Structure 1
Amino acid sequence: MATISSPGVGTNGLDVKSIISQLVALEKRPLDTLKLQAATVNTKISAFGQIKSLVSTLQDAASKLTSVTGWNGVTTTSSDSKYVSASAVGGTLPTSFSVEIQSMAKAQATASAALLPVGGALGAGTLRLELGKWSVAPASFTPQSGQPVDITISAGDKLSDIASKINGANAGVTASILTDASGERLLLTGKGTGEMAGYRVSVNEGAGFDTGVQSFAENSDGVGLSRLATAQMDVAATTMAADARAKVNGISVTSATNSFATTISGVTFKAEQVTEVGKPISITVAKDDSAVRSNIDAFVKAYNAINDLLQEATKYDPKTKSAGLLQGDSTAITLQNSLRSAVQSVTTGGGAFQRLADIGISQALGGNLVVDSAKLGKALADSPDAVKGLFRNTGGGAADGIAVQVKALATNLLSNSGFFKSKDDNLQLSLKRISQDQSRVNDKVDAFEKRITQRYNALDKQLSSLNGLNAYVAQQVTAWNKSNG
């Protein structure tokens, strides 16, 4: 008799997890595109940030060529800078003069008599510090305008405590302590130099401060706090405040510091040490064309750096069929054209020179500026004012110099409402949109994964049930076949 066989309705071990994972991966494929788009936008943000930095450098370079001081550079030399050094501000007229340094500026320095016992208290009272000028030291002292500084000294204060109080009082004097075999001494040094930076120390031990009309014996008796008064100072250890003294072309001059900033108009010379008698130091101020050349070179270098970056970013190589990051970006092309137009412009304010090529600065293939050093040098030597006018004339419109126009363009590009702010805003908006698209895709994938997980779990349960039924039917068929065999 014919037998019945099982058709095998179900399958065992269905890998639901693997199936779901592969389906979810397919749904996530749009995220790869979005991630690539986000990376490209971030790279563009970085690129435009770099371009912005280079435009800022160009703005600075153009500013130097529009500044008066940028064209009035001078060089200052000293025949022996170890005695006298010097500098001069731009625009200072060429000059030369001789300097003899007779004495250096000094700060007042004093030391008290030796005090014993070491570490002992000095006594209560008030210590007064005044800044001013000693006329016939120490007999005549003229205080500066302003209030003296009074420091309260307690009965138990040691010399170290007094020194600390002086240093904390901001009285124009610093204090320290010297200890030797004879005891300890209070060392005072004025913070400033010059005759008007002297100081006087007086004390009040209870009756009042001494004045020109009235004096109190206890304030100068060499006992207690009075041991720190000016009258009790060690004369041998005293240095009086003094101005620096010099002769310029034989004329005596003084300065409260070692720097003479107002003696010669536009020139500052500094006394480094006293000169030898009869050997004055020569100071020479001359026009410095190298500063102008340096500023022009910096301008050319700054422009070329921008042009190189834009050229690389916007190029297309037909051989490799590869494009630069900003190839086809109309805003980058517009920026490049605007900068080129500015340096190629013709100005009516430069006198004999109307364009950069007239002074030896031309554009090579690719847009970079190239300097003919010999031609530029001749222009600076023969017509310095015309070169200056070419760059910095401010007649308005076509009369504006090249540097004036480039600076104005750069300033506009860098402003809060300019090109770079607008470009960055647009790129940031693109990033935001991409992020939103990524969120939508992720939400869609999550919903898809949840939905198919439920379906495949249900299918797996159905298959398990069918497999059980199939086993039962097979068992029954086997038993039936045996009973009818």
Structure 2
Amino acid sequence: MDVDSLAVQEFLMATISSPGIGSGLDVKSIVSQLVALEKQPLTKLQVQAATVSTRISAFGQIKSLISTLSDAAGTLSSLTTWNAVSTTSSNATAVSASAIGGTASNSFSAQVTVLAKAQSYASAALPLPTGTALGGGTVSIQLGKWTNPTTFAATAGVAAVDVTVLATDSVTEIASKINSASAGVSATVLNDAAGERLLLRSTSTGESFGFSLSVTDSDGVHDDATGLSRLVSGASTQYAANAAATINGSIPVTSATNTFTNVISGVTLTAKEVMTSAAEITVAQDQGVMTTAINKFVSAYNAVNQILEEATKYDPATKSAGLLQGDATAIGLQRALRGILQSSTTGSAYTRLADIGITQQLGGDLAVDNTKLTSALNSGDDVRNLFRIDNNNELTNGVARKFKTFSVGLLATDGFFSSKDASLKRSLDLNSKDQQRVNEKITRVEAQLNRRYSALDVQLSSLNALNAYITQQVTQWNKSTA
């Protein structure tokens, strides 16, 4: 073989049979790598979408905490909180007390002498086999008041209730009919060694809620010991009674129930036992309610401050930033909240929270000096005014009133959180559309690359075949020449 023939053969082998070229071309891998390059903008968009979604969640959490702060501020700006009172009784097992908000602080003695009772009635024993009929007729029940065992005055405007009794009715059936008649009494049947008894009891306590029972017997005799009249003959009655008590040792008071309402203005007494000596009742301002409300406000504020502090911080040492670092709206919200804390109130001896022991710490959280706060609460209405006074001026109103007004605005349907949420969701929607466009482009590019490289693979396969043929011809040519 001459030198020229050898050179052509080596050139063809090097050009056509280079590694990686020919029908063994990895089209899938090549296209995959090229498509990966096209997907880089998509990855960036996906990261941006995840960040926006996280911000939406963060602002949702802040909104929830602002709502809690709003509720706490509302409690502190409510007169109910500052009018709260507590009552104590030196003998709560015998007489307890409660008072409505705003009741003046005072103390007095109370002694229960009689408990309220409902009238009760028991027929004589009916020595008959259980379930035996008594006889027909009518049982009449009239509500009213007994002034003594023989004098009864019917309640004005209240008619007697008549219960028709059949000749076949048993005592149990009669009791059931009385209960169904809504006559102001309840009926039951007692079985003892002597026989059956019909028991009646007023459904209300007090002297004015007694009753009278009479019978119209179908046998024409209405008060003997036979027939239906056996329900009244030989019956026994315990009359109703009002509850009675003595206030301050000399003032008698009564009540149809065991509850005495407004005997002392705003105070309700509940009699439980007859007493041999008086109990001391004390009504005082309930500082526990006020302290609890203040502490809940402080906790609610701190929760908001902490989430904003964490979200907007930047750590220069680690060069790491919070999720909302640089977000103007989040920083503006944080500054606005702190601005309200630093503003002053007029109309109170205390102008700032620090005056009553609530101070701002490093990082913005509030801390409560309980000793100083208790002392301030003992000084009268000035703490109340610090929190809830209305000067018709958002700059000088009470602290709680300022926070309530501010938070209501933030939480309104057209307020800060609504606007921020809408803005972030618009951004997320635009991002989604951008991702869709990128995905569509990737699909087109991938299809184009597959077509091109598949065609190239076909062409290389043809070249491989040509390479094999030329190699064969060169070999034969060399042999012939030799």
> Which residue identity is paired with 2:390?
T
Contact 1:110 1:233 in 2 (8 A): no
Q: 1:424: how far off?
A: 2.4
Q: 1:348 to 1:23 in 2, by over 3 A?
A: same
Question: Per the alignment, in what secondary structure is the counterpart of residue 81 of structure 1?
Answer: coil
Deviation sequence 1:124-143 (CA, Å, 0-9, x none): 99988876656667974635
Q: Choose 397-406 or 435-444, whichever is displaced more.
A: 435-444
Q: Choose 126-135 or 389-398, whichever is displaced more.
A: 126-135
Q: Choose 250-259 or 159-168, whichever is displaced more.
A: 159-168
Contact 1:41 1:431 in 2 (8 A): yes
Q: Which residue of 1 aligns with 2:347?
A: 349
User: How far apart in 2 are the matches of 1:453 and 1:106?
Assistant: 98
Contact 2:136 2:166 in 1 (8 A): yes
Which of 314, 324, 327 aligns to 1:326? It is 324
Contact 1:56 1:414 in 2 (8 A): yes
Between the two proteins, what is the percent identity of the paired residues?
A: 49
Deviation sequence 1:428-466 (CA, Å, 0-9, x none): 333333344444444444555556566666777x47984
Q: Choose 81-90 or 135-144, whichever is displaced more.
A: 135-144
1:426 equivalenced with 2:423 (yes/no): yes
Q: Which residue of 2 aligns with 1:254?
A: 254
Question: Per the alignment, in what secondary structure is the counterpart of residue 341 of structure 1?
Answer: helix
Contact 1:74 1:91 in 2 (8 A): yes
Question: Per the alignment, in what secondary structure is the counterpart of residue 381 of structure 2?
Answer: helix
Question: Per the alignment, in what secondary structure is the counterpart of residue 87 of structure 1?
Answer: strand
Deviation sequence 1:140-159 (CA, Å, 0-9, x none): 46358678888999999988
> Which residue identity is paired with 2:279?
I
The runs of 5 or more residues in structure 2 that have no matched partner are none
> Which residue identity is paired with 2:257?
T
Deviation sequence 1:305-364 (CA, Å, 0-9, x none): 3222211211110001111121111111111111111121123322x4333334443333
Q: How does 1:228-243 map to 2 (within 5 A)?
A: 231-232=231-232, 235=235, 241-243=240-242
Q: Which residue of 2 aligns with 1:396?
A: 392
Q: 1:377 to 1:181 in 2, by over 3 A?
A: closer
> Which residue identity is paired with 1:432?
D
User: How far apart in 1 are the matches of 2:171 and 2:460?
Assistant: 99
Which of 23, 44, 49 aligns to 1:38? It is 49
Q: 1:408: how far off?
A: 1.7
> Which residue identity is paired with 1:315?
K
Question: Per the alignment, in what secondary structure is the counterpart of residue 320 of structure 1?
Answer: coil
From the CA coordinates, give the structure whose radius of gyration is larger. Answer: 2
Q: TM-score, normalization: structure 2?
A: 0.74
User: How far apart in 1 are the matches of 2:186 and 2:35?
Assistant: 78
Q: How does 1:297-308 map to 2 (within 5 A)?
A: 297-308=295-306
Q: Which residue of 1 aligns with 2:85?
A: 74
Contact 2:136 2:217 in 1 (8 A): no
Q: Which residue of 2 aligns with 1:417?
A: 414
Which of 283, 286, 301 aligns to 2:284? It is 286
Q: Which residue of 1 aligns with 2:271?
A: 271
Q: 1:155 to 1:291 in 2, by over 3 A?
A: same
Q: 1:394: how far off?
A: 1.6
Contact 1:108 1:239 in 2 (8 A): yes
> Which residue identity is paired with 2:421?
D
Q: Choose 24-33 or 2-11, whichever is displaced more.
A: 2-11
User: How far apart in 2 are the matches of 1:479 and 1:47?
Assistant: 77
Which of 79, 88, 111 aligns to 1:100? It is 111
User: How far apart in 2 are the matches of 1:470 and 1:171?
Assistant: 118
Q: Choose 298-307 or 18-27, whichever is displaced more.
A: 18-27
Deviation sequence 1:157-185 (CA, Å, 0-9, x none): 98888878877887766666666677777
Q: TM-score, normalization: structure 1?
A: 0.73
1:362 equivalenced with 2:362 (yes/no): no
Deviation sequence 1:69-92 (CA, Å, 0-9, x none): 433443321111111111222322
Question: Per the alignment, in what secondary structure is the counterpart of residue 384 of structure 1?
Answer: coil
Q: 1:221: how far off?
A: 6.4
Q: How does 1:15-94 map to 2 (within 5 A)?
A: 27-94=38-105
Contact 1:111 1:233 in 2 (8 A): no
Q: 1:119 to 1:366 in 2, by over 3 A?
A: same
Which of 20, 23, 32 aligns to 1:11? It is 23
Contact 2:142 2:154 in 1 (8 A): no
> Which residue identity is paired with 2:361?
A
Which of 317, 334, 341 aligns to 2:315? It is 317
The runs of 5 or more residues in structure 1 that have no matched partner are 203-209
Q: 1:158 to 1:416 in 2, by over 3 A?
A: farther
Q: Choose 157-166 or 257-266, whichever is displaced more.
A: 157-166
Q: Which residue of 2 aligns with 1:207?
A: none
1:408 equivalenced with 2:405 (yes/no): yes
